[in-house]
């Protein structure tokens, strides 16, 4: 929102440190300065949040739908408006709608829907994350086996050309994709994440050398870390640069395994919700089972929000509040190359913030 805005709360997390009784002064959507509340004039219009925390806004890079409208089933702008609302209620100002293994027709319709959403003034949707169908059937999870295949260079080019400017991340299994396909995707400026993969440790490490910079939902649907076969999990952990998403809902990954991965990967580990919604149509008939979703009896998605993820990291994985907040903001911003604009509350950054109560429950999101 243009003009000058001032936000205050009892505590402020800048992404680096905690400040008490400080104010954010923003102008035309950019943070200008951080000031002690006592230094503000009583005549200034201040948006004050008592008994609250202000933190950098969350970014969810993998989420499939909300409020009964799975994006792959309803590839239309209305689905994205609902998804944005769901994300904001959980403290996420930005998201990447995700489409799991599907037909190319569905991918194209989803690309069109993102464009329509933007044309209608929709905010918060950063593009599209395509997960599959170029994955390994041995690690398909709930993905539809009949649609899984290795891509030809031509079909990859057709999808990439159609999705130019919309597709931000593609999850694929590096062992089933040629180096030519990987190089082609990278030439479009898209991020490649290794996932639903049975890659060996060596194949995983080689794929990182060739430009794959992330791993999708660490531990899930990938070759595991074993003492004689470290697999893709071991390759991701044993690398200085590759990042990995993780789903802290207590179902996809044990909280102790998250803590172990965090100790190894540090700032390279970030949160996704992997949230789906109930649906009786399409390839993925997600049914809520407690606080998770299943399709045909297989774990198929979470019921997480980003603020719930923060609480789980703190309470169950014993990760510090500041680090849990960074895993939901700064680190995903880093993966998509926006860590100089988002993920911090410092002068020069976008005035994009999440307001939380002292229990880390999201209250409001301000996005610019």
183 assigned to active site: no
* Residue in 69, 24, 16 with CA at minimum distance from that of residue 49: 24
Percentage helix, strand, coil, to 5, in the chain?
Answer: 30, 30, 40
* Helix (H/G/I), strand (E/B), else coil: 364: strand
Q: How far is residue 136's CA from residue 240's CA, in Å, rounded to a whole number?
A: 25
What is the phi-psi region of residue 109: left when phi exceeds 0, alpha when psi lies from -120 to 50, beta otherwise?
A: alpha
Dump the DSSP string for 30-84: EEEEEEEGGGS-TTS--EEEEEEEEEEPEEEEEE-EETTEETTTS-SHHHHHHHH
| Stretch (H or E) spanning 331 | helix 330-335
Tell me the β-bridge partners of 25.
6, 33
The total number of residues shown for the chain amounts to 368
> Which of 60, 239, 249, 274 is labelled catalytic?
274
Question: Catalytic positions, please?
Answer: 274
């Amino acid at each position: 929102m243009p003009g000058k805005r001032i936000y205050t709360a009892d505590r402020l997390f800048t992404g680096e440190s905690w400040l008490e009784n400080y104010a954010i002064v923003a102008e035309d959507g950019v943070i200008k300065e951080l000031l002690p509340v006592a230094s503000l004039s009583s005549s200034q219009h201040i948006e004050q949040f008592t008994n609250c925390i202000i933190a950098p806004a969350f970014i969810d890079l993998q989420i499939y739908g909300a409020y009964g409208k799975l994006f792959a089933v309803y590839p239309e702008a209305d689905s994205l408006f609902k998804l944005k609302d769901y994300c904001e209620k959980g403290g996420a100002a930005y998201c990447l709608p995700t489409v799991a293994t599907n037909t190319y027709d569905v991918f194209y319709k989803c690309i069109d829907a993102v464009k329509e959403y933007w044309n209608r003034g929709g905010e918060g949707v950063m593009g599209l994350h395509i997960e599959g169908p170029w994955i390994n059937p041995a690690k398909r999870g709930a993905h539809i086996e009949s649609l899984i295949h290795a891509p030809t260079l031509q079909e990859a080019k057709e999808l990439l050309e159609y999705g130019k400017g919309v597709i931000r991340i593609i999850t694929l299994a590096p062992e089933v994709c040629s180096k030519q396909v990987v190089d082609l995707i990278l030439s479009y400026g898209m991020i490649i994440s290794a996932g639903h993969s049975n890659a060996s440790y060596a194949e995983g490490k080689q794929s990182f050398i060739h430009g794959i910079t992330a791993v999708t939902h660490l531990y899930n649907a990938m070759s595991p870390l074993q003492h004689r076969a470290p697999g893709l999990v071991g390759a991701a952990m044993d690398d200085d640069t590759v990042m990995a998403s993780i789903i802290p809902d207590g179902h996809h990954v044990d909280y102790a395994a998250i803590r172990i991965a965090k100790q190894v990967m540090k700032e390279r580990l970030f949160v996704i919700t992997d949230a789906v919604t109930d649906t009786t149509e399409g390839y993925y008939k997600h049914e809520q089972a407690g606080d998770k979703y299943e399709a045909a009896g297989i774990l198929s998605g979470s019921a997480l929000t980003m603020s719930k993820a923060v609480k789980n990291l703190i309470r169950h994985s014993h990760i510090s509040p500041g680090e849990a907040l960074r895993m939901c903001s700064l680190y995903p911003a880093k993966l998509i190359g926006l860590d100089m604009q988002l993920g911090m509350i410092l002068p020069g950054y976008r005035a994009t913030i999440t307001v939380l109560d002292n229990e880390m429950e999201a209250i409001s999101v301000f996005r610019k």
